[in-house]
C-alpha cells in the first residue's frame, strides 16, 4: 500500500500508527469483535439492559405511554441476545485459554477470572428472572401479543443459558484441577528423573509394570505399512506416465531412441494358439500306430489339415525326432537305416540318413 493511502486511512482515524506498528482503531476493533461475537467477556451490557428494563417498567406504571412499552420490549430482547452472546464468548475463551495460553501461571489466573465472570452472568440471569417473575402480573394486564412472546422467549433462553453455564462451570473446574495437578506432575517427573539417575527406578517404583502394561502403539517400532503398486494402475495412462518419469530419473532411457512398437495386428496371439493346438501329436502317433510304414515316411507323406498349412521338410524332420524321443516306449527302433535325397532351400542336394522306426504293436496292446 502506498504511503499516501496509509496517510489517508490515518487521517480518517481508521488506523493509527505507533512506533512503526500499524493497528486498527479501537472503535473498529470493538465493532468487529461484537459482530463476530469474539473478544473479552463483559457483563456490563446485560447489566445496562436490566437497569433500563427496571426504569422503563417504573415509568410505564406511572404513565402508560406506548413509548415506555416499546423500551421495555427492547430491553427484554436485548437481555436475551446479550446473555446468549456473552455465554458463547465465555465458552470460547475458556476453551481457547486452556488449549492455547502458553504460560501456565497466566492460564490459571485467566481461568479463575472466567470462573468469576461465569458467576456474575449467573447472578444477572437470576436477577432478570426475578424481575420478569415479579412483573408477570403486570405484563398480563398489558394486552400486547408481541410482549407475551418476547417474555416467553426470554424465559426459555435464560433457562437454557443457565444450564449451559452450569456445564461451563464444571468445565472450568476440571481445567483448573488439571493445571494444578500438572504442577504436581512436574515435581514427580523430576523425582523420577532423580531416581533414574541413581539407577533406582527399577527398585523403588513400579515403573516396569506400568510401562510394560501400556499397550499404546506409540511404543512399537514404527513399521510403515507397505503396499505394492497396483498392476491395473500401471497399465493405465497415468501409470505409463509415472513409469516413464521414474525411468527418466533413473536414466534408463538414455540410449534408447526406440519408440514403442506399432500396434499389434488384431488376433496375433490367436494364430500361435491355433497352430499349437492343431498339431495334435498324440493323434498323429495314434494314427501311426495303425499303419505299417516306418515313422519317417509316415510323417514325410502325412497330409496335415489345411489350417496347419504346408509343413516344410525341416519341420517334418524335427517332428520325427520329437516323436521318436517322446513316445519311444510305443515305438520299435529297428536299428536299420533308411536313406533319401532331398534339395534344401539353398538348392543344395543333400543325402539324408534316418533310423527306421516301426510301431511297437506288442507294447501298445499291453
Partner 1 sequence: MNNIPKQTPEIFGILSRGNFISSNGSKGKLYDIISHQENFQVLKELFGHTGYVLEHGHNYYYFSHTEEPNQSIEKKLEQFAYYIDVMDFFSSMDQKPSVGTRYRITQIAEQCFSNERLKQKIVALSRREKMVDKVSEIANDLAQSGFFEQEDEDTYKVMDAIHYLEQVITLITINEDGE
Interaction site with partner 1 (CB under 8 A): 98-104, 107, 178-179, 182-183, 185-186, 188-193, 195-196, 201, 204-208, 210-212, 214-222, 224-225
- Exposed, middle or buried, 90 (CB in 10 Å: 0-12/13-18/19+)? buried
Question: Measured between alpha carbons, how far is 39 from 164 in angstroms, rounded to an integer?
Answer: 19
Question: Measured between alpha carbons, how far is 122 from 165 in angstroms, rounded to an integer?
Answer: 7
Sign of the Cα torsion 114, 115, 116, 122 reads: positive
Output the smallest distance, CB 197 to partner 1, in A: 9
Output the smallest distance, CB 160 to partner 1, in A: 21
- In this complex, which beta carbon is closest to partner 1, that of residue 67 or of residue 196? 196
- CB 97, CB 114: distance < 8 Å: yes
What is the C-alpha radius of gyration for the chain, rounded to an integer number of angstroms? Answer: 50
- In this complex, which beta carbon is closest to partner 1, that of residue 173 or of residue 350? 173
- CB 159, CB 125: distance < 8 Å: no
- In this complex, which beta carbon is closest to partner 1, that of residue 106 or of residue 252? 106
Output the smallest distance, CB 209 to partner 1, in A: 9
Cα 97 to Cα 166, 174, 347, distances in angstroms: 19, 13, 102
- In this complex, which beta carbon is closest to partner 1, that of residue 220 or of residue 307? 220
Output the smallest distance, CB 181 to partner 1, in A: 8
- In this complex, which beta carbon is closest to partner 1, that of residue 111 or of residue 295? 111
- CB 276, CB 293: distance < 8 Å: no
- In this complex, which beta carbon is closest to partner 1, that of residue 45 or of residue 207? 207
Question: Measured between alpha carbons, how far is 358 from 286 in angstroms, rounded to an integer?
Answer: 13
- In this complex, which beta carbon is closest to partner 1, that of residue 216 or of residue 301? 216
Output the smallest distance, CB 283 to partner 1, in A: 55
How many residues does the structure list for the chain? 366
Output the smallest distance, CB 200 to partner 1, in A: 10
- In this complex, which beta carbon is closest to partner 1, that of residue 185 or of residue 291? 185
- Bridge partners (DSSP) listed for residue 349: 343
Output the smallest distance, CB 151 to partner 1, in A: 35
- Exposed, middle or buried, 80 (CB in 10 Å: 0-12/13-18/19+)? buried
Question: Measured between alpha carbons, how far is 21 from 14 in angstroms, rounded to an integer?
Answer: 14
Question: Measured between alpha carbons, how far is 36 from 231 in angstroms, rounded to an integer?
Answer: 53
Question: Measured between alpha carbons, how far is 289 from 360 in angstroms, rounded to an integer?
Answer: 8
Output the smallest distance, CB 168 to partner 1, in A: 16
Amino acid at each position: 500500500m502506498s504511503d499516501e493511502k496509509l496517510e489517508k486511512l490515518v487521517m480518517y482515524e481508521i488506523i493509527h500508527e505507533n512506533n512503526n506498528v500499524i493497528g486498527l482503531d479501537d472503535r473498529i476493533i470493538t465493532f468487529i469483535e461484537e459482530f463476530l461475537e469474539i473478544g473479552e467477556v463483559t457483563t456490563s451490557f446485560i447489566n445496562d439492559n436490566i437497569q433500563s428494563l427496571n426504569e422503563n417498567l417504573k415509568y410505564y406504571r406511572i404513565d402508560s405511554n406506548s413509548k415506555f412499552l416499546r423500551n421495555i420490549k427492547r430491553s427484554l430482547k436485548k437481555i436475551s441476545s446479550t446473555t446468549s452472546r456473552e455465554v458463547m464468548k465465555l465458552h470460547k475463551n475458556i476453551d481457547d485459554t486452556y488449549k492455547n495460553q502458553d504460560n501456565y501461571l497466566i492460564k490459571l489466573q485467566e481461568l479463575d477470572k472466567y470462573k468469576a465472570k461465569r458467576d456474575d452472568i449467573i447472578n444477572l440471569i437470576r436477577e432478570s428472572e426475578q424481575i420478569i417473575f415479579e412483573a408477570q402480573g403486570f405484563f398480563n394486564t398489558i394486552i400486547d401479543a408481541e410482549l407475551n412472546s418476547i417474555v416467553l422467549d426470554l424465559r426459555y433462553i435464560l433457562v437454557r443459558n443457565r444450564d449451559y453455564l452450569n456445564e461451563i462451570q464444571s468445565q472450568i473446574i476440571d481445567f483448573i484441577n488439571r493445571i494444578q495437578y500438572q504442577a504436581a506432575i512436574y515435581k514427580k517427573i523430576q523425582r523420577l528423573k532423580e531416581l533414574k539417575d541413581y539407577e533406582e527406578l527399577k527398585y523403588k517404583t513400579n515403573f516396569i509394570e506400568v510401562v510394560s502394561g501400556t499397550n499404546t502403539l506409540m511404543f512399537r517400532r514404527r513399521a510403515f505399512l507397505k503396499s505394492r503398486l497396483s498392476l491395473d494402475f500401471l497399465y493405465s495412462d497415468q501409470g505409463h506416465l509415472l513409469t516413464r518419469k521414474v525411468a527418466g530419473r533413473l536414466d534408463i532411457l538414455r540410449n534408447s531412441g526406440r519408440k514403442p512398437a506399432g500396434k499389434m495386428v488384431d488376433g496375433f496371439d490367436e494364430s500361435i494358439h491355433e497352430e499349437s493346438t492343431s498339431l495334435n501329436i498324440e493323434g498323429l502317433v495314434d494314427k501311426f500306430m495303425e499303419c505299417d510304414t516306418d515313422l519317417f515316411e509316415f510323417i514325410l507323406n502325412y497330409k496335415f489339415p489345411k489350417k496347419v498349412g504346408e509343413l516344410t521338410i525341416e519341420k517334418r524332420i524335427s517332428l520325427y525326432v520329437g516323436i521318436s524321443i517322446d513316445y519311444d516306449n510305443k515305438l520299435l527302433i529297428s536299428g536299420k537305416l533308411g536313406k533319401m535325397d532331398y534339395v534344401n532351400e539353398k538348392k543344395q542336394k543333400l543325402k539324408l540318413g534316418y533310423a527306421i522306426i516301426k510301431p511297437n504293436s506288442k507294447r501298445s496292446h499291453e
